[in-house]
Amino acid sequence: MPGSGLLMSGQTVYVKPKPANTIEEMLIMVDEESGIYGGLKMANGTNPLRTDGTPGTRAKSAALVRSLFVQAQEYKTQFDEADGDPEKKPSRDLQMETLVEVLEGKRIVHNHTHRHDDILTAIRLADEFGYRMVLQHVSEGWKVADEIAASGYPASIIGLDSPGGKLEAINLLNTNGKELERAGADVAFHTDDPVVDSRFFLRMAAFGVREGMSREKALQALTIAGARMMDIDDRVGSLEPGKDADFIILSGDPFSVYTHVQQTWIEGEKIWDRDNPEDREYAVGGYEIFRASANSHTHLEGYK
């Protein structure tokens, strides 16, 4: 997804990291009819703030977002009232079309937010316009866990080896998962790579367990909960007949440091195998891996 430096920085895509030559092969369609394969990235708090005042404060940020959704509501009304009449239909506006998809619940908002008051603002705005939203990062979620659970919006959280480094996120605690679980909120994990190296995705959930999350909830937070948050839980996120054959084979307890991922399968195809030396290097590191790999699309960017 795009970054958090703007109130609305663009659309997100849901993809499978499988060998492919085109992005289309990797996309996960949420809505075939409307061609929706992602959400909308939004952000509040300090990242989108600008010294020139557009926006310069939290209130201005909220007002700008609200104004856009008010506009989108009017656009949608005009469109609905035209009832297909080309004379009455408003001229196409790509920005408004995306926001209408959000208002219609077809496109989910992924809202970057850290501080507890920013979390509550994100909830307030989603409630006002009735859109679907996933709270992303939610660093101070533990302070307003009950409010998050009551709102019904799910929380996608990150775990860290230590707090600090970013002022509005210094109160991030690895007890976040436990507190959100206790309150009854839906919880998923994300890495925000390179904040957390994506090779340590399982490790993050393990720290959630160390800090009091249940094993069940932590495993769900790595699988089905994230799928629900992207509206793709009919295809991925659990081992059930009819679902995509996406699974991993582990050497032991998923929450042990000594456990390694042995194999990764996507749609019934083994795409990574630790017993293959070249594959193994991708997991453990080594000399000029990206350059050496004939299959890598990234070696030119990776080699500087």
Q: Which residues of 34-73 are buried (b: 16+ CB within 10 A; e: fewer)?
A: eebbbbbbbbbbbbbbeeeeebeebebbbeebeebbeebb
| Cβ 295 to another protein shortest distance, Å | 18
The correct pick among 164, 234, 267, 300 for binding another protein (CB under 8 A) is 164
> Does 257 participate in binding another protein (rule CB under 8 A)?
yes
For another protein, the closer CB: 121 or 139: 139
For another protein, the closer CB: 66 or 166: 166
Number of residues that bind another protein (CB under 8 A): 33
CB-side neighbour CA atoms (13 Å) of 81: 8
Radius of gyration of the chain (CA): 21
- 237 neighbors 227 (Cβ within 8 angstroms): yes
For another protein, the closer CB: 11 or 171: 171
| Cβ 210 to another protein shortest distance, Å | 5
Strands 269-273 and 261-266: antiparallel
- 254 neighbors 221 (Cβ within 8 angstroms): no
Stretch that binds another protein, among 121-129, 175-183, 224-232, 252-260 (CB under 8 A): 252-260
Rounded-to-integer distance, Cα 280 and Cα 140, Å: 37
| Cβ 303 to another protein shortest distance, Å | 8
36 Ramachandran zone, left/alpha/beta (phi>0; psi -120 to 50): beta
Stretch that binds another protein, among 27-35, 83-91, 206-214, 232-240 (CB under 8 A): 206-214
Residues that bind another protein (CB under 8 A): 160-167, 169-170, 194-195, 197, 200, 203, 206-207, 209-210, 255-258, 260, 284-290, 302, 304
